[in-house]
Amino acid sequence: MQQTNAIPGPYAEKARQIAEALSQMDQIVVAGHVHPDGDAAGSVAAVGHILRDMGKEFMLYANPRLPGYLDFFPMPAVVHTTLEHPPFTPRCAVLLDCGEPERLGAELAGLLPQLDSVNIDHHLGGDGMGSRDNWVVTEAAATAQLVAYVSLAAGLPLTGDLSLAVALGLITDTGGFCHGNTSGDVLSLAAHLVKNGCNLPWLREQLDNNWSLGRWRLWGLLMENSRVEYDGQVGFCQVRLQDLSRCQALKEDMEGFVEQLRRLQGVKVAALLREDSPQLCKFSLRSYGELDVRSIAADLDGGGHFNAAGGTLRMPLEKAGQVLLNRIGLYLGNLKNTAR
């Protein structure tokens, strides 16, 4: 029996189509983007629960692995970090929270042309890379939101660990229900999860109260190194490779820091720039309301969402910082001129 009464009208038909597509697949690799965040990991877990309930043979895959801060999270199966020795010969794939093969990592991207695939995503930039079907809804707050509707369309209730998986994705990509993408549909889904037994306080406790000493020290250092630019409109922080080793921290320990930069009074755009190698830097941008940081990222060959975006700059850290700040300043200048 389909539980379509809990699916918002605009999502119902496509959720049914994706559920039907999954019912016709087997020997399935379930994967999100490389260096998965909570939405990618939650979506992978949720699809794993759906496929298990459907009686499918599947494997979960994360490149290079799930982040350490999710070690507590109950996954429905072993999470493989390589496809070199899969438990079966993959014939199909469910690709989550990304729309481009290169975001899957070289290993899975190379195998993709041989697989019958479904792609579920909420990022701007394309119609999807699935060979069987695609569901890309940029208005959705999280990929896990769409996966929840697929589960309901398949007649599978959002309870137990499946509900936690959906909640993980929602919490991650709405900033704990604080971002502008926290729509009525998102809140209705969250209420549905809680009414069916999802323990949101436990999930938040596990996510918020598991910091390592290395992460604690790193955040202290990053706060000390942060500064404001453009008359206080931009909160900016650079992270050097040596900062991580100095604090005995990992890259994943920076998760959430760019959101902290937005807490500075007067800051409209928060920017975090991380040195990955002497000639390679990654940047993350955050904003509120009508400030479109995706357009800033897109001009630097990046992407993402309206209020949360990022990308890569193949240059030394100091030059990358100048390029990024100049582009943000240009955006703010154009915004000021348009408002006149």
Are 58 and 82 part of one and the same domain? yes
Are 50 and 196 part of one and the same domain? yes
Are 241 and 197 part of one and the same domain? no
CATH number assigned to the domain comprising residue 77: 3.90.1640.10
**CA nearest 39: which of 118, 154, 141?**
141
Q: What is the pLDDT of residue 178?
A: 86
- Which of 188, 208, 228 terminates a domain? The answer is 208
Q: Where are the beta strands (DSSP E) in 72-136?
A: 79-80, 92-96, 116-121, 133-136
Q: What is the pLDDT of residue 2?
A: 43
As a residue count, the chain comes to 340
CATH number assigned to the domain comprising residue 287: 3.10.310.30
Secondary-structure percent of the chain, ordered helix, strand, coil, rounded to 5: 45, 15, 35
Are 39 and 150 part of one and the same domain? yes
Are 48 and 147 part of one and the same domain? yes
- Which of 174, 208, 242 terminates a domain? The answer is 208
175 with 284: CB under 8 angstroms? Answer: no
Look at the pTM and tell me if it is higher than 0.85.
yes
Q: What is the pLDDT of residue 124?
A: 83
Are 247 and 142 part of one and the same domain? no
177 with 168: CB under 8 angstroms? Answer: no
Tokens representing 26 are 């087997």
- In angstroms, the CA 267 to CA 231 distance is 9
Are 89 and 130 part of one and the same domain? yes
Give the domain extent around 43: 4-208
Query: Tokens 């809140």 label which residue?
Result: 187
- In angstroms, the CA 329 to CA 307 distance is 16
Question: How many CA atoms within 13 Å lie on the side-chain side of 63?
Answer: 20
Are 148 and 20 part of one and the same domain? yes
Please give the tally of structural domains in the chain: 2
Q: What is the pLDDT along the chain (340 residues), one digit of tens a residue?
A: 346 688 999 999 999 999 999 999 999 999 999 999 999 999 999 999 999 999 999 999 999 999 999 999 999 999 999 999 999 999 999 999 999 999 999 999 999 999 999 999 999 877 899 999 999 999 999 999 999 999 999 999 999 999 999 999 999 999 899 888 999 999 999 999 999 999 999 999 999 999 999 999 999 999 999 999 999 999 999 999 999 999 999 999 999 999 999 999 999 999 999 999 999 999 999 998 889 999 999 999 998 888 899 999 999 999 999 999 999 999 999 887 776 6
Cα dihedral across residues 39, 314, 104, 153: positive or negative = positive
Q: What is the pLDDT of residue 3?
A: 64
- In angstroms, the CA 303 to CA 297 distance is 5
**CA nearest 36: which of 81, 72, 76, 78?**
81
Are 250 and 125 part of one and the same domain? no
List all residues 6 or more positions away from 243 whose beta carbon is below 8 Å from its beta carbon.
218, 221, 222, 225, 249
Q: What is the pLDDT of residue 127?
A: 87
Q: How far is CA 101 from CA 27, 145, 212, 244, 291, in A?
A: 20, 22, 33, 29, 29
Are 204 and 266 part of one and the same domain? no
- Which of 208, 231, 246 terminates a domain? The answer is 208
DSSP label of 83: S
Are 13 and 160 part of one and the same domain? yes
Q: What is the pLDDT of residue 305?
A: 86
List all residues 6 or more positions away from 72 whose beta carbon is below 8 Å from its beta carbon.
206, 210
- DSSP-derived 3-state class of residue 107: helix
Are 203 and 273 part of one and the same domain? no
Q: What is the pLDDT of residue 82?
A: 97
DSSP 161-206: HHHHHHHHHHHHHTTTTTSTT--HHHHHHHHHHHHTT--HHHHHHH
List all residues 6 or more positions away from 70 whose beta carbon is below 8 Å from its beta carbon.
38, 41, 168
